[in-house]
Amino acid sequence: MELREIEILLDKYFDAETSVAEENQLKMYFSSSNVAPHLEQYRSMFGYFAQAGRQRFEKTIPLKTKKRYVGWLSVAASVVIAFGVFTFINKEPQEDLGTFDDPEIALRETQKALNLLSNNVNKGVNSINYLEEYENSRKTIFKK
C-alpha cells in the first residue's frame, strides 16, 4: 500500500474515524517488515493490539448444580432433628437413686451430707479472715 494512503489512514485512526476494515489494513501494514522509519514508533502499538487479542482464558468455569444438593441437605437435617426430638420425648424417667427405710439412718445420712457441704463452705470463709487482718493493719497504719 502507498505510504501516503497509510499516513491518511493514520490521521483518520487518531481521530477515531476509521472503520474496522481500515484499522485491519493498518495492522497489516505495521506487521510487515517495510515500515517507513518515521512511522516506526507505531509498530509496537499495533503489534501489541494484535498480540493482546490472542490471550486465552485457560481456567475452567465452576458451574455447580448447587440447588439440588441444598434440597437434600435440608431433608437430612430434618430427619436428624425429628430423630432427636423423638428420642428426647421417649426418654425413660431417671432411674431410682435409692431410699432409706429407717428414719434414723435417713436423718444421719442427711446430716452427714449437710456437714460435708458446710465444711466446704467454711473452707472458703476461712480465707476471708485473712482479708480482715489486712483491713485491721490498714486501719492502724492510716490512722496515724
Return the range that interacts with another protein (CB under 8 A); candidates 60-68, 74-82, 96-104, 127-135: 60-68
Return the range that interacts with another protein (CB under 8 A); candidates 41-49, 95-103, 108-116, 133-141: 41-49
Q: In the numeric block, which cell numbers belong to residue 106? A: 435417713
Instruction: Enumerate residues 71-100 that contact another protein by CB under 8 A.
Output: none
| The binder of another protein chosen from 3, 36, 45, 107 (CB under 8 A) | 45
**What is the pattern of x (binds another protein, CB under 8 A) and - over residues 16-35?**
xx--x--xx-----------
Footprint on this chain of another protein (rule: CB under 8 A): 13-17, 20, 23-24, 40-45, 47-49, 51-57, 59, 61-63, 65
